Structure 1
Amino acid sequence: MMNCGLLTDKNEPVPLKSIVVDLQVKGHVATVSSTLQYVNEEERPLEALFVFPMPAEAALCHFSAKIADKEIVAKVQEKQKAREEYDDAIASGDQAFLLEESDESEDVFKLSVGSLPPAQSAAVTFIYVTELSVQADHALRFCLPAVLNPRYTPPGTGGGIVSEITSSPAGVPYSLSLTAHVSSPNPITKVESKCPLEPLMFLNADHTNAKVSLSAGHMFDRDVELFLYYQNAHQPTAIVEAGEPTAQPGTLMRDPVVMLSLYPEFPSALMSSVTSCGEFVFIMDRSGSMGCPMHNGSGAQMRIESARDTLLLLLKSLPLGCFFNIYGFGSHYESYFPKSVEYTQETMDQAVKRVKEMQADMGGTEILQPLKHIYSQQCIPNQPRQVFMFTDGEVWNTNEVLSLVRNNAESHRCFSFGIGEGASTALIAGMAQEGCGHAQFITGTDRMQPKVMQSLRYALQPAVVDISEEWTVPVGMSATRLSPPINALFQGQRALIYAQLKGESQSSDSEGTVTVKYRLADQEVTNTLSYSLKPAENTGLSIHRLAARSLIRSLEREEQNEGAEKEALKARVVELSVQAGVSSSHTAFIAVLKGSGEAVTGPLLRRRVPTAGLFGMGPPVAMACCARFPSGPVPMMAMAGPMIGIPGGAPPMLADMAAPQIIQMGGSNIIMADMEEDSEDPGEAVKDPLLQLISLQKASGCWEMDGALAEVFGKTEEEVVKQTPAQVERGSGLQFWL
């Protein structure tokens, strides 16, 4: 992982002393507060640059910094004005902080800290709220990112914040202190993690409140994932949050906001009549970074190996009679077949043979061209096209990719898999959202299979169309939807909806309802949820901020449409962002401590920031350093720290970076050995029996009885034959179905 710190003029790091994280989980929402403590041992004032990851769906709502005993809390302001105020402050020698979102990707932030006095400590605190994703086993997943993958930038394209994300093998992991307080309307059954945890402590008799902490001395060299299990977690719920009494009347922050958690239930008779078919196009990232390990521990599998294992699971699970094709991409792209072919034993064997030979040998990460080619191909009649993208998400032009996916969503559903820690949440989750599909993040072998099967089940479901909602509230009140329209529904998948409740009830009725209507296989289906209008207690405005973030993202997407009133939309985004105190593409957090230093003259020196094995950092990571004194330029690098987990299902292809640089990722890793090669190095991962078994499966779903199959079970072929029931003829094949 990378050592987050500044460099002195002797190329010695200014160390990151500690990271303390407080996590407050309420049902499906988490509030994350992270404090990082640095010390400047330089003899001159420094300007520090952090480039750090944050979940794309999160709402950054607070930033503050403490220099010695002075604390400044940042305010949200229009981005250009904030930049000008920051520059003026630095020129005057004032301490200043500027926090802004990347123009290229909404899950990358940059924090400029200037000027940090010599021999002074700096503590920076970030607070954000985020929705917790639902896993295939109904667990809620929280991920504290430790790494931010470098983003590939093609020559001549220039780059913004994402071009400052680089990596270096130097550095030493640092410790992390994390405590999670969890509350839920339903009893908490357990909390799991790949990281060592202290015993779960229940704080009340009904087990609806609990506390858990990382074990002392935890080294933050990989993502921290927590999996929270509630009883009946998949039941529909609704939470009404009271507004802020001091906010301006009629605004979003003043009125109550409701968050609905819906789990659509499709009629069983309708689902049983659906025929499995489709055209499945698998797009594999084969850029250089896919040759990097999943994590920095012993036995780490390469990302490309994990992606191959995931793709193999999908290939072996397709229904007979469907169509498929496989693309690989890097600096260029290639396909296995000139066009999609029918799924038969012969075509599957051909594809599996080439998948096992697949390497991370195609250079950079140019994802647009293969997508444009696939979208330009004529679809096969009565075979809905499903695009499966596997990548580590090291893409520099995320917004352009998402726009392309959105423009082709009517004819192509998109299912995305983020492979390894550091995959871009903005890219992985964004492609699924814009492509009416589903996203998975793959971080370990233990959860890969259920994630793959969940995505395939969703892909085999017919597309839901004509989705609409009807809100009913008491007389005197109205409900205004804040979330973007739902564009995809799957059996049992959660959908979160936010709405602003206006007015006062003129009756004793204290309930509201929302009905979601849609068409499935030419039949109309409705799901209705009733909820209490009584506000929940002690929510801390987290639902308001997530609702504001949701509305802001909707407005930002509208800006990208042709003919959109861009200036009016931008003004509305800035207004909402400032009002709610949450980040947006058009605003920045700015804080200035007046009279704190001497005016600075001369150009900035930018020097490299070291990183350790993984690019590391949690919320704020990656620090580049600039010393202000007149001298020649020095190369600069912003620390990297891949974040997030990976969309589950198949290890996606990891992108950028032509050579396997460092991208080691921690957290749950995808440790599955190559099906064809035995491990010679004792440190390598051993073969996964399930993957060995799947590699022998035929297209029809059966296995041939031979020595290879017997070996998977640790038996000889003769031993298995002896135990075969008499009525089963030798050579007939035993049929097992996934």
Structure 2
Amino acid sequence: MRPKQIAAKLIFLLTLMLLAGNAMAAGLLKPVGANDSAALAISSHKVDVTINNGFVRTEVDQTFANSSGTATEVIYSFPLPKQSSLSELSLWIAGQEILGEVVEKQRARQIYEEQKAQGNQTALAEKNDYRSYDVKVGNIPAQSDVRVRLVYYQPLEIDLNIGRYIYPQAEGNVDEERISFWSTDDKVSGPFHFHLQLKSAFPVKDVRLPGLDQEAIIQRSGGMSEENAGDIIDVTIDRPEGSQLNKDIVFYYRLDDSVPARIELVPYKADKNSEGTFMLVVTPAADLQPISEGTDWTFVLDNSGSMGGHKISTLTDGVNRVLGQMRANDRFRIITFNNSAQELTSGYINATTENVQQWISALKNIQAGGGTNLFAGLESAYRKLDEDRTSSIILVTDGVANVGNTAHKDFLRLLQKYDIRLFTFVIGNSANQPLLDRLARDSGGFAMNISDADDISGRLLQAKAKVLHQALHDVEIDISGERVTDLTPEKIGNLYAGQQLVQFGRYNSDGEVTIKMKAKISGQPHSWKTTANLPQTATDNPELERLWALAKIDQTMEEVREKGEIETLKNKVIDYGLNYSLVTDYTSMLVVTVDVLENQGIQRRNADRVQKERIAQQQKAAAPVQNHRIDQSSNNGAGSFNNRPSPGINFGSGSGPVGLLTIPLLAWMNRKKK
């Protein structure tokens, strides 16, 4: 079966689903019905974000207040940011910062409980699978407060010249067990302060914070002159007492249309005797032709209980809009799933005016409820495929499979039977991103995560430009010589128009290497190359070691989800977590006093790592923006991609959000898989 790329009208359908919903939020977890819950509060919430050199540092500094007459514990929970590594947890005791250290999960929990029982102040950060980070703070003194700070890092990719950062606060309403036991206090009794600084080596055309344009204060400094190369943009949001932590803050920035396609390499090497780490970022440009062909559509729609409320009504309204613009020679199927799957259409339906109107009326009766049998929904979609027509499967879900087959290996086996692209649209925070990313990538499609605070038009335009053009298939990176090891991810797959490739690696000796990228376009091989120098010493970005380790952890966890908790795989994750001070599924961050660390034999690895990172961050804050492009010398100065501009939002899609609802459906069809 040879599929095609999906339509922007479809993406409009998917984004509609996120405009409303019944969701929890980031905040303090309190037992449902607890009488003394009012005694605990978040008295201040400060966020400081730095985007620089292709990755993001997010610092959250909070004060928790205890107005009761006894010492007590608080639990703060927030949605797990995508591809994030929680790397610092600090607790202030007697005015002094005590930094957390990473310990195996069960041991950390045991020590935390022992310290809490002894009346000592302590803290613990744990990862709740793909859903959230949970931070416990024990023994906040009576009639007092405590300051807690956490830091996490994550890579940031540019897509069609657009960078996108989310500070996640809205929960996805997918953890039924948690919802039944905990209520969430998402109010901040004191001030809320959010500050973001973007440092870009390339000119920034504009920035946007959807829904916050009147509230956010945006200041720009720097410029692209030789004296002060780079753009620096500061965003500040201050809110009064009583603000809530129930809506994501989404920050977009768009690079100028003149920004070139390029290859960048950001290195870190502590000294000449240390092993080096690097982040390779490739922003390709190639002759990707536009595509416009017909297809069969299979909509696989989640109508489980977590899709309740306004979500299900916006879902059906979005499907109706798509059906209303189909041509008579198109066909569609509609499958819904909760505890089981139902094919509403009993096969393909020709998109005649009469049939479309009939199914528009029928879809209004869809109700949300029950569990999520995601496997049954996908299995039904793969039945009755017509070998003579191109097809695409579009899955819309929060991905939290809890009925029927739920193991990753079951989904992967199902996918391997069919040569058809699956496009997954992941709704909100706390969704099963690992599963949906893997399914989309292994099928040659892509996954898109959408927040209810997103710029809907902007996300639609991004997806439109991606699916309207050919893609780069079977992408590979080859780095000559024996200096480079541990490239992660190992398997890249496909790259769509405007999509960046971000890869981490290690190197054991300095010197020049040749970097070659290979891919196929419509079955024809293409390649691009450049040379780069791996430095003997480069101390600006020690955070890259954590990001490399996080990529290795993610790669190993894919195996765990597919093969089960094999001891060797589990131990690899634990080793990465301990050696690079990362909170993982099997390691947690524990805050206790220095004497407890010594008594427990816990090394202060994180304290040493954080000291290096903070020194480097102070130096970078005072330094000009650094450009890490390495391919200018290729092709007589034309760069690896022959002076092509980096594909932007206008790539084959017109300028700006014009006429989105009136574009014919056929313009958005998916291309056949090569």
Match of 1:200 in 2: 219
Match of 1:470 in 2: 478
Give the whole-Å Cα distance in 1 for the aligned partners of 2:51 and 2:528: 27
Superposed CA deviations along residues 113-147 of structure 1, whole A, max 9, x for unmatched, are 223232231222111111235456x3211111122
Superposed CA deviations along residues 499-545 of structure 1, whole A, max 9, x for unmatched, are 2122233xxx4xx3432323343322334355453599774423322
Give the whole-Å Cα distance in 2 for the aligned partners of 1:397 and 1:177: 41
- 1:237 equivalent among 239, 263, 267: 263
The 8 Å contact of residues 78 and 574 in structure 1, kept in 2 or not, is answered as yes
Superposed CA deviations along residues 471-524 of structure 1, whole A, max 9, x for unmatched, are 135xx733431224112322322221112122233xxx4xx3432323343322
Match of 1:486 in 2: 492
- The 5 Å alignment of 1:121-132 reads 121-132=145-156
Amino acid in structure 1 at the alignment position of 2:106: Q
Q: 1:437 to 1:148 in 2, by over 3 A?
A: same
Helix, strand or coil at the partner of 1:199: strand
Determine whether 1:258 maps to 2:258: no
Match of 1:140 in 2: 163
Match of 2:301 in 1: 284
Match of 1:337 in 2: 345
Helix, strand or coil at the partner of 2:217: coil
- The 5 Å alignment of 1:579-728 reads 579-593=579-593, 694=662
Match of 1:607 in 2: none
Aligned residues: 569
Match of 1:80 in 2: 106
Superposed CA deviations along residues 583-625 of structure 1, whole A, max 9, x for unmatched, are 22221111223899xxxxxxxxxxxxxxxxxxxxxxxxxxxxx
Determine whether 1:184 maps to 2:200: yes
Measured after TM superposition, the shift of residue 227 of structure 1 is 0.8
The 8 Å contact of residues 91 and 149 in structure 2, kept in 1 or not, is answered as yes
- 1:90 equivalent among 116, 134, 145: 116
Helix, strand or coil at the partner of 1:47: strand
- The 5 Å alignment of 1:422-461 reads 425-426=433-434, 429=437, 431-443=439-451, 447-449=455-457, 451-452=459-460, 454-455=462-463, 458=466
Give the whole-Å Cα distance in 2 for the aligned partners of 1:459 and 1:502: 40
- The 5 Å alignment of 1:95-114 reads 95-102=121-128, 105-114=129-138
Match of 1:23 in 2: 49
Give the whole-Å Cα distance in 2 for the aligned partners of 1:97 and 1:169: 19
The 8 Å contact of residues 49 and 56 in structure 2, kept in 1 or not, is answered as yes
Match of 2:251 in 1: 226
Measured after TM superposition, the shift of residue 413 of structure 1 is 2.5
Match of 2:574 in 1: 574
Match of 1:210 in 2: 233
- The 5 Å alignment of 1:348-427 reads 348-355=356-363, 357=364, 359-375=366-382, 377=383, 379-381=385-387, 383=389, 385-392=391-398, 400=406, 402-410=408-416, 411=418, 412-419=420-427, 425-426=433-434
The 8 Å contact of residues 48 and 195 in structure 2, kept in 1 or not, is answered as yes
Superposed CA deviations along residues 625-654 of structure 1, whole A, max 9, x for unmatched, are xxxxxxxxxxxxxxxxxxxxxxxxxxxxxx
- 1:60 equivalent among 78, 86, 89: 86
Q: 1:339 to 1:10 in 2, by over 3 A?
A: same
Task: Show structure 2 runs of 5+ residues with no match.
Answer: 1-23, 597-656, 668-674
The 8 Å contact of residues 243 and 257 in structure 1, kept in 2 or not, is answered as yes
Superposed CA deviations along residues 188-220 of structure 1, whole A, max 9, x for unmatched, are 333211222113131455452232212454934
| Identical counterparts, % of pairs | 19
Structure 1 window deviating more from structure 2 (546-555 vs 225-234): it is: 225-234
Structure 1 window deviating more from structure 2 (387-396 vs 485-494): it is: 387-396
Give the whole-Å Cα distance in 2 for the aligned partners of 1:236 and 1:421: 32
Give the whole-Å Cα distance in 1 for the aligned partners of 2:124 and 2:305: 33
The 8 Å contact of residues 425 and 448 in structure 2, kept in 1 or not, is answered as yes
Q: 1:514 to 1:346 in 2, by over 3 A?
A: farther
Give the whole-Å Cα distance in 1 for the aligned partners of 2:529 and 2:331: 37
Q: 1:383 to 1:453 in 2, by over 3 A?
A: farther
Measured after TM superposition, the shift of residue 417 of structure 1 is 2.3
Q: 1:395 to 1:15 in 2, by over 3 A?
A: farther
Please give the TM-score of this superposition, normalised by the length of structure 1: 0.68
The 8 Å contact of residues 373 and 404 in structure 2, kept in 1 or not, is answered as no
Amino acid in structure 2 at the alignment position of 1:225: V
The 8 Å contact of residues 18 and 174 in structure 1, kept in 2 or not, is answered as yes
Give the whole-Å Cα distance in 2 for the aligned partners of 1:165 and 1:399: 26
Give the whole-Å Cα distance in 2 for the aligned partners of 1:574 and 1:11: 36
Amino acid in structure 2 at the alignment position of 1:78: E
Higher helix share: 2
Superposed CA deviations along residues 397-437 of structure 1, whole A, max 9, x for unmatched, are 89946544433444343322234566565565455345432
- The 5 Å alignment of 1:113-124 reads 113-124=137-148
Q: 1:700 to 1:283 in 2, by over 3 A?
A: closer
The 8 Å contact of residues 2 and 173 in structure 1, kept in 2 or not, is answered as no
The 8 Å contact of residues 198 and 212 in structure 1, kept in 2 or not, is answered as yes
Q: 1:319 to 1:236 in 2, by over 3 A?
A: farther
Amino acid in structure 2 at the alignment position of 1:593: T
Superposed CA deviations along residues 17-54 of structure 1, whole A, max 9, x for unmatched, are 11111111114321100011101122222222233212
Give the whole-Å Cα distance in 2 for the aligned partners of 1:573 and 1:113: 25
Give the whole-Å Cα distance in 1 for the aligned partners of 2:658 and 2:221: 37
The 8 Å contact of residues 510 and 534 in structure 2, kept in 1 or not, is answered as no
Helix, strand or coil at the partner of 1:64: strand
Give the whole-Å Cα distance in 1 for the aligned partners of 2:26 and 2:458: 35
Higher strand share: 2
Measured after TM superposition, the shift of residue 111 of structure 1 is 2.2
